[in-house]
């Protein structure tokens, strides 16, 4: 299983073209997860608190979010969850 750290649009370039649809399916799940977190936290000010978000795509043939990374905009601290 190959793993890809996705933090910017350019990180998608490393994903082989024949695996892009699978990667994008997981990316959609990542976006849905972020929306859920924002809804729980209350959308107000959330974007101001997050400097960067990322996730690791695992080319394992399964759809689903395994882990993510959030960088605090004020402290610069990074928190990771999952893989």
Mean pLDDT of 72-82: 71
Number of domains in the chain: 1
Let me know if residue 23 belongs to a domain: yes
Q: How many CA atoms lie within 13 A of 33 on its CB side?
A: 17
Let me know if residue 5 belongs to a domain: no
Please give the DSSP secondary-structure letter assigned to residue 62.
Answer: -
Q: What is the pLDDT of residues 13-53, one digit of tens each?
A: 999 999 999 999 988 888 887 777 777 766 665 566 665 66
Q: Is the confidence at residue 11, as pLDDT, over 80?
A: yes
Let me know if residue 21 belongs to a domain: yes
Domain that holds residue 71: 11-81
Mean pLDDT of 59-79: 75
The model carries a pTM of 0.69
Q: What pLDDT is recorded for position 62? A: 85
């Amino acid at each position: 299983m190959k793993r890809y750290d996705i933090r910017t649009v350019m990180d998608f370039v490393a994903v082989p073209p024949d695996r892009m649809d699978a990667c994008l399916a997981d990316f959609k799940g990542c976006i849905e997860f972020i929306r859920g977190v924002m809804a729980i936290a209350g959308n107000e000010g959330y974007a101001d608190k997050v400097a960067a978000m990322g996730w690791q795509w695992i080319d394992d043939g399964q759809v689903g979010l395994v882990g993510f990374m959030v960088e605090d905009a004020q402290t610069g601290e990074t928190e990771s969850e999952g893989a």
